[in-house]
Amino acid sequence: MSGIFTLPDNIDVVIATFQTKASTRLETVNKTNSIQDGLQARIKDPLWMLGKQWQVGEFRAQDGGHPVRAEIEVKNRQLNTIGWQEPETETTGAESFDPKVPLEMKAEEEKQVQPGKFKARGWDPKRLEYSFRVQGQDTVLVAEEYYGNDLDWYNFDLASLGQLNETSVSLAVKPAPVTFKGMPLARWWSLEDGRVDIGQIKRPHLNFLTELLIEFSFIYSNDWYVIPMAQKVGDIRRIEKFVVMDSFGVTLEAEPVIDKTPLKQGWEVFTLTPRTQGEYSDGRVFYLPNRLYHALESEPIEKVNFFRDEMANLVWAVEQSYQDRDGKVINRNDEESEQIPEQPKPSLYWDTQVRTLVDPSQVTGAGEPGNRFIGPVALYQPKTHIPIHWIPYKPSQLDTAGNYLLRRARTVEDTSAGPQYKGVFLSESKFVFEEEAPRTGIMLCRVYQMARDSDGRRYCWLSRKKRTDVAHKSSGLRFDHLIEN
In a domain, 442, yes or no: yes
427 shares a domain with 328: yes
41 shares a domain with 172: no
Q: What pLDDT is stored for residue 3 in this prediction? A: 38
Residue 440 DSSP SS3: coil
Sorting pLDDT into bands at 50, 70 and 90, what band is 337?
A: low
244 shares a domain with 392: no
Q: Which amino acid is located at 394 in the chain?
A: K
- Domain span at 319: 297-341+385-480
CA 123 from centroid of its chain's CA atoms: 19
Sorting pLDDT into bands at 50, 70 and 90, what band is 164?
A: confident
In a domain, 30, yes or no: yes
Q: Which amino acid is located at 211 in the chain?
A: E
| C-beta separation of 228 from 51 below 8 A | no
| Cβ atoms < 10 Å from Cβ of 234 | 22
Q: What pLDDT is stored for residue 381 in this prediction? A: 65
Task: Answer with the residue of higher pLDDT: 478 or 435.
Answer: 435
pLDDT tens sequence across 215-229:
888 888 888 899 988
Q: Which of 270, 292, 314 is the last residue of a domain?
A: 292
94 shares a domain with 17: no
pLDDT tens sequence across 244-286:
998 888 899 988 887 777 666 666 778 888 887 767 788 889 9
What percent of the chain is helix, strand and coil (3-state, nearest 5)?
Answer: 15, 40, 50
Q: Which of 292, 313, 331 is the last residue of a domain?
A: 292
How far apart (Å, rounded) are the C-alpha atoms in residues 465 and 66? Answer: 48
156 shares a domain with 122: yes
310 shares a domain with 417: yes
In a domain, 275, yes or no: yes
Average confidence (pLDDT) over 342-365: 72
| Low-confidence winner among 16-30, 48-62, 201-215 (lowest mean pLDDT) | 16-30
In a domain, 271, yes or no: yes
161 shares a domain with 75: yes
453 shares a domain with 317: yes
pLDDT at 423 over 70: yes
156 shares a domain with 256: yes
In a domain, 52, yes or no: no
CB crowding 97-123: b at 16 or more within 10 Å, else e: bebebbbbbbbbbbeeeeeeebebbbb
229 shares a domain with 94: yes
In a domain, 195, yes or no: no
70 shares a domain with 133: yes
In a domain, 370, yes or no: no
How far apart (Å, rounded) are the C-alpha atoms in residues 263 and 150? Answer: 30
Query: How many independent structural domains does the chain possess?
Result: 3
In a domain, 365, yes or no: no
68 shares a domain with 34: no
